[in-house]
Structure 1
């Protein structure tokens, strides 16, 4: 319901009264007090962001799921076993001069808790090279009901407790993905769901670790 108020011309001040009216109606200065509460990890967030954004270096995405890692191994005739995945990831993090070009590494959950074939924690190998360990935290895509065959990313349930554990293990930033499918829209529902999911992920992650989000556009 809308309402409108009409002003009759007799209510308006005469031209000779404009100055006095404006002077009387001039707003008074208002002082607003605002308190900004710093988060417990604010300084560390800034430090992490600066490290990741180091000139000449980039982020290594080595967060393949065990299934995807299995495809990598199958291409060279190896079985998808934990030992083979460990050897594959050891090869990545021990590449000579890695820290010269890589500032952050996104890990799969198994990798975050994994050691190299020599028994040294992968997280420690990275930090020694001034590479910030990160962690993939989403739980994959599922169909979005009521949409144009679109999807949404799950993983918000229990995210805070998982990220607290990941932080204790050495992770200092996180990755969350979402997909926007464009052939049939995208639908307003899918866009809102993607935005809401990313916003909630960001809010939760900034309590614990630095965030990194990636939005993919699909043309399927």
Structure 2
């Protein structure tokens, strides 16, 4: 019964037209975002900002789930209603980031291992009691002259698998996020090779941990050129490389892939997602191909809000527009003309 429920939750998160709002920024990260608009990162401001996003009228047309940070799980809105209830009342599935961040990997300079497995079983039970339905764990892989090492890939894949198995035992859908960073000058071919290696190892470890893939989702990077590469690949190349890489590595039983925006601009994240879905429709792909965007959905409304209650309606309008455009891209139906508000 628990596995059936996990399947149902996973399917609802990748329902047609919809995707995930990643609102799981840690306190230091949200402070950086607020600094960029000259707003103080107080608990009240963080609450007001997230309340603005979650209360956007009809946002459930395009947002199926929201990844929360620990603070937000237990936060109430300005009228005392739990933020989780505001989401569930709209049919939006609340989730929680449960890793403790990427830390230096001993013996491997410039590589990281994600921590947070200690005490995870107990924390998962608490989050399930609080009303969350899914979890997320991020592994960080960088491409440089000597990285990533096989050991770094294996260690992070092993941690992802342990996290996923523990999540399912707690009745929570794990979103597995192995991110190959786009920082660097690498080519799209190099990104393809590393992403293929990472995903192969991740699904090997998930199988060994006896994770039920039908009750999971994958949150990967797109296969892209490095951000500082001289000749960056066009959206059509990104689409072909991404879909091809995943067909080689991701089992058909995985219900959906929710791409991270990974530091792409709003426009780049949208255009690439659209190209990926167009190509997947043409060539046939077994999974839903959706989005789990943080900056890709939040950058515009954050700039519109600027920490001012008077700007809330404007910020919500901008957020709804970004969600609408991203939903169109998720269906392979995006057009630049949609950008006009």
Structure 2 CA distance for partners of 1:72 and 1:148, relative to 1, 3 Å? closer
RMSD over aligned Cα atoms:
1.2
Q: Give 1:73 shift.
A: 2.1
Match among 159, 175, 195 for residue 157 of structure 2? 195
* Distance in 2, Cα, partners of 1:181 & 1:59: 24
Mapped to 2, the partners of 1:140 and 1:74 lie a distance apart of 21
Match among 166, 191, 194 for residue 204 of structure 1: 166
The one of 50, 72, 95 equivalent to 1:134 is: 95
Computing the radius of gyration over CA atoms, which structure comes out larger, 1 or 2?
Answer: 1
User: Within the alignment, does 1:47 sit opposite 2:5 as a pair?
Assistant: no
Match of 1:214? 177
Check whether the contact 2:93–2:133 (CA below 8 A) recurs between aligned residues.
yes
Match of 1:112 among 73, 92, 103: 73
Q: Deviations over 1:101-156 (max 9, x none)?
A: 00110000000111111211111111111110000000001100111420000000
Partner deviation per Cα, 1:28-52 (whole Å, 9 max, x = no partner): xxxxxxxxxxxx6223212201210
- The 5-angstrom pairing of residues 113-192 of structure 1 reads 113-183=74-144, 184-192=146-154
| In 2: Cα distance, 1:44 partner to 1:168 partner | 16
> 1:185 and 1:79, CA in 2 relative to 1: closer, same or farther beyond 3 A?
closer
- Secondary structure of 1:115's match? coil
Whole-Å Cα distance in 2 between the matches of residues 195 and 215 of structure 1? 8
- What is the distance in 2 between the residues matched to 1:144 and 1:77? 35
Q: How far is the alpha carbon of 1:67 from its aligned partner?
A: 1.6
Deviation at 1:74, TM superposition (A): 2.1
The runs of 5 or more residues in structure 1 that have no matched partner are 1-39
Tell me how far 1:182 sits from its aligned partner.
2.0
**Number of residue equivalences:** 181
Aligned equivalents of 1:78, 1:154: Cα separation in 2:
30
Structure number with the higher helix fraction is 2
Match of 2:310 in 1: none
TM-score w.r.t. structure 1 length?
A: 0.79
Equivalent residue of 2:21, what SS?
Answer: strand
1:138-195 CA distances to partner (integer Å, 9 max, x unpaired)?
0001100111420000000011100100000011000100011221131121011011
Instruction: Provide the C-alpha distance between the structure 1 equivalents of 2:141 and 2:32, rounded to a whole number of angstroms.
Output: 25
